[in-house]
Amino acid sequence: MLVLEARFRFDAAHDAPPITVAHVVWSHPADPHPVVKPAFSLQRHQGPAEVLVKLQYLVEMTAPDSFERLQSLPSRFWSFIDVSANPPTVSPKGA
């Protein structure tokens, strides 16, 4: 399983720290269609739906090599970190 942590900097002009907005998960390295799983931390910011729409767009535009291409994306707003060795745990609903 391959996992990228998608981070977004809401205020790049003031060098604000990025927040984790989602995890992009490939069930198999050859899988051309990863799943975007929103992070809980995104809910505390304005415009989470717009950020997720943009992330989904970036994933689609970098296909079929999204895993590699997202990590090399030149952006002052987005960063993608390989967390495949330590994927995030997802709490069950209601927990």
Average pLDDT of the segment spanning 6-26: 86
pLDDT value at position 14?
A: 72
Average pLDDT of the segment spanning 58-75: 94
pTM exceeding 0.85: no
Domain boundaries, the chain: 2-27+34-82
Q: In what order do the strands lie in the sheet with 78-82?
A: 35-38, 19-26, 2-8, 78-82
Report how far apart the first and last C-alpha atoms of the chain are (Å, whole number).
25
pLDDT value at position 91?
A: 47
Among 19, 21, 26, 37, smallest CA distance to 63 is for: 26
